[in-house]
Amino acid sequence: MSYIENKKLEIIKNKILNIDKPNILELGVQKGNSTQMFLEICDRNDGYLTSIDIDDCSGVSKNKRWNFIHSSDDNFEFIGSKIIDKKFDILYIDSLHEPNHVRKVFYHYFYFLKNNGIIFIDDVVWLPYVRGAYRDNDFVEKINRSIFEKLIEIYNQNTDNLTLDVNFGDSGLAILNKTGNTLNTEKKIENRLFSLKNIIKKYIYDPKPKK
């Protein structure tokens, strides 16, 4: 695991380190780096981890505090029949990085969270992927921008139900706290920077800088 990956997991670990008997839901396992970190917390604080992945990651751990569900995380009916305790302290989203999928699982599993529960969403920052940056990648830039914008739309309609912080290190980490029991549907946020009025103001009425 790279230093950067370690750093993001350390941020999460420090946020949840003192939660007694944490019940954790993890969407996305893959190599198991986050899984092992969560299990370390569970061993220390008498907690339990449920992880979901479309790939068979059951070999990642033999820990008795772990329940692995081999499924797509949006197969809600199947997963609902497999979840042992349906009230979680922590939700970690790191599965399919696509804005509509992130939105779908966010809205569904939000209702499985206890009041004041914490939601972590990985890969929400695009800056390392812009043209000329050290990870220059057009596709990932667009996807991460879209996920970030979707989160902002959700938060903007739910300021009474959520808090939101974003760590901009590497590919980014969104940290949300559940402060209400319902979620309103997100709405597109109008960008007035590109309105006709502002375009006219910028190119016609604003004074041009002197050369």
DSSP output for 61-126: ---TTEEEEES-TT-HHHHHHH-S---EEEEEE-S---HHHHHHHHHHHGGGEEEEEEEEEE----
Tens place of pLDDT per residue across the chain (211 aa) = 444 457 899 999 999 999 999 999 999 999 999 999 999 999 999 999 999 999 999 999 999 999 999 999 999 999 999 998 889 999 999 999 999 999 999 999 999 999 999 999 999 999 999 999 999 999 999 999 999 999 999 999 999 999 999 999 999 999 999 999 999 999 999 887 766 666 666 667 665 655 5
What are the chain's domains?
Answer: 3-205 (3.40.50.150)
Give pTM, 2 decimals. Answer: 0.90
